[in-house]
Amino acid sequence: EMDISVNNQSTLAVNPGESSKADYKSAVEFKEDEEFSIKLVRNILGFANSGGGYIVIGFKDSDLTLDSNLTDAITGSYDTTRLSQYVNSHISNAEKVTLVVHKEAKNGKVIPIIFIHPFSKYPYFSSGKAQSKGFGRILKENSLYYSDFVESSILKERYKRWIAKESGKSQF
Burial class (CB in 10 A: 0-12, 13-18, 19+), 70: buried
pLDDT of 122 higher than 60 = yes
Report the pLDDT value the prediction gives residue 44, as an integer from 0 to 100: 96
pLDDT band at 70 (very low <50, low <70, confident <90, very high): very high
Note the pLDDT tens digit of each residue in 153-167: 555 666 666 667 766
Q: What percentage of residues in the chain have a pLDDT greater than 70?
A: 80
Neighbours of 43 (CB within 10 A): 20
Give the model's pLDDT for residue 153. 53
108: alpha, beta or left? (left if phi > 0; alpha if psi -120 to 50):
left
Mean pLDDT (the chain, rounded): 85
**Higher per-residue confidence, 149 vs 129:** 129
Beta strand 99-106 with 109-116 is antiparallel
What do you get for the CA distance between the two ends of the chain, in Å? Answer: 28
Confidence check: pLDDT of 151 > 60: no
CA distances from 130 to 139, 162, 165 (A): 6, 26, 30
pLDDT tens, 5-46?
A: 445 666 787 777 767 788 999 999 999 999 999 999 999 999
User: What mean pLDDT is predicted for residues 74-102?
Assistant: 96
115 three-class SS: strand
Q: Is the pLDDT of residue 1 over 60?
A: no
Is the pLDDT confidence value at 138 over 60? yes
Give the pLDDT score at 159.
Answer: 66
State the pLDDT at residue 143: 87
